[in-house]
Structure 1
Amino acid sequence: MRKWKRVEAADGARFRSALAAHESELLRSLVTSMVEMLDERETSSPTDELEVLTGMKTGHSTAPEDDTMKRLLPDFYRNQSEHPAGSGTAESLNSALRSLHEPAIIDAKREAAQRMLDTLPAAGGKFELTEADAECWASAVNDVRLALGTMLEIGPGTPDRLPEGHPMAGHLDVYQWLTVLQEYLVLALVAK
């Protein structure tokens, strides 16, 4: 992958880069897997009477059980101190907020991922993105990094490299590559 280059055009900024064919395939696979996880979460949502009556889309009222999905769809509120009403207050608040907002969050993540897939060069090579497409790329890459980082249990003590032959060495390399891809893209987006 090349660094991103920002080019000012008459109709707005453009962001140029290039990917090798295997990089395009890897991104397509990772983003598609993430979309499938989001789709599964959405389709497993119970039917809500309010949704049936009003047409207002609702989602799960409980947090995902899977750690990766918990990272992609975290709680809205964390109880940082003991509330006089008890810990049930935070749980009740999270339940209501999740039910109301999770569908829109999943839709936004899916839309960003789909825009990335639509603009990803299938066989690799040079490509150019609009600013809106570049923002979707940054969002989708971030979501994939969060998912992969959770699976790898990335934390402050994670080494930069794993020993050759370690079963997770290749996954860590992919995580680090995604980090660089995202960093360069964000730097290009904020450059003026």
Structure 2
Amino acid sequence: MRKWKRVDGPGGPRFRSALAPHEAELLSSLVTSILGMLDDREASAPLDELAEITGMRTGNSVPPQDDTMKRLLPDFYRPATQHPAGSAAAESLNSALRSLHEPEILDAKREAAQRVLDTVPAGGGRFELSEDEAQAWVAAVNDVRLALGTMLQIGPDGPDRLPSEHPLAGHLDVYQWLTVLQEYLVVSLMGTQR
């Protein structure tokens, strides 16, 4: 992957880069996997008769059971201290907030992922993004990184490297490549050079 180049013009900034064929294929595959996970989560939401009548969509009120989806759709509220009455109030608040907002969050994540799939160059090569498309790339790549990071159990302290014979060594390389891709794009969006 080449670094991102920001080109400011009368229609707003454009962001240019290039992907090797294997990079374009890998990114498309990873983003497609995230789309599938988001679709599965939405399909698991219970049918809400009130939503059918009012048109107001609601989603799952319970958090995902899968660690990756928990990372992509975390709780809305985490109490700073233990409440004397227990955790029921926080769970109730999270349940209500999740039910109300999860459909919109899933839509936004899905839209960002689809924009990546629509703009990644098939077979690799040079490409150019609008500012909105670049923002979608940042969001979708972040979701892929969160999913891979959960699988690799990456925390604040790494790991930075795995032995080459480790079964997840290639996954860590992909995670680090996505980190660089995202970081350089964010720097370009901010209008600064590294």
TM-score normalised by the shorter chain: which range applies? over 0.9
Q: CA deviation at 1:82?
A: 2.2
CA separation in 1, counterparts of 2:54 and 2:157? Answer: 49
Instruction: Give deviations 1:74-109, integer Å, cap 9, x for gaps.
Output: 000012212244310000000000000000000000
**Unmatched tracts of structure 1, length 5 or more:** none
Segments of 4+ in structure 1 off by > 6 A?
A: none
Q: Which residue of 2 aligns with 1:68?
A: 68
The one-letter code matched in structure 2 to 1:131 is E
Normalized against structure 2, the TM-score is what? 0.96
Q: Which residue of 1 aligns with 2:143?
A: 143
CA separation in 1, counterparts of 2:82 and 2:166? Answer: 43
| More displaced 10-residue stretch of structure 1: 157-166 or 9-18 | 157-166
Q: Does 1:11 align with 2:11?
A: yes
CA separation in 1, counterparts of 2:130 and 2:38? Answer: 25
Q: Does 1:34 align with 2:34?
A: yes
**Unmatched tracts of structure 2, length 5 or more:** none
CA separation in 2, counterparts of 1:67 and 1:112? Answer: 21
Q: Does 1:128 align with 2:156?
A: no
The one-letter code matched in structure 2 to 1:122 is A
Q: CA deviation at 1:158?
A: 2.7
The one-letter code matched in structure 1 to 2:86 is G
> When the two structures are aligned, how many residues end up with a matched partner?
192
Q: Which residue of 2 aligns with 1:101?
A: 101
CA separation in 2, counterparts of 1:27 and 1:8? Answer: 26
| More displaced 10-residue stretch of structure 1: 47-56 or 176-185 | 47-56
Q: Which residue of 2 aligns with 1:115?
A: 115
- Output the aligned Cα RMSD: 1.0
CA separation in 2, counterparts of 1:149 and 1:159? Answer: 10
CA separation in 2, counterparts of 1:156 and 1:34? Answer: 23
The one-letter code matched in structure 2 to 1:173 is D
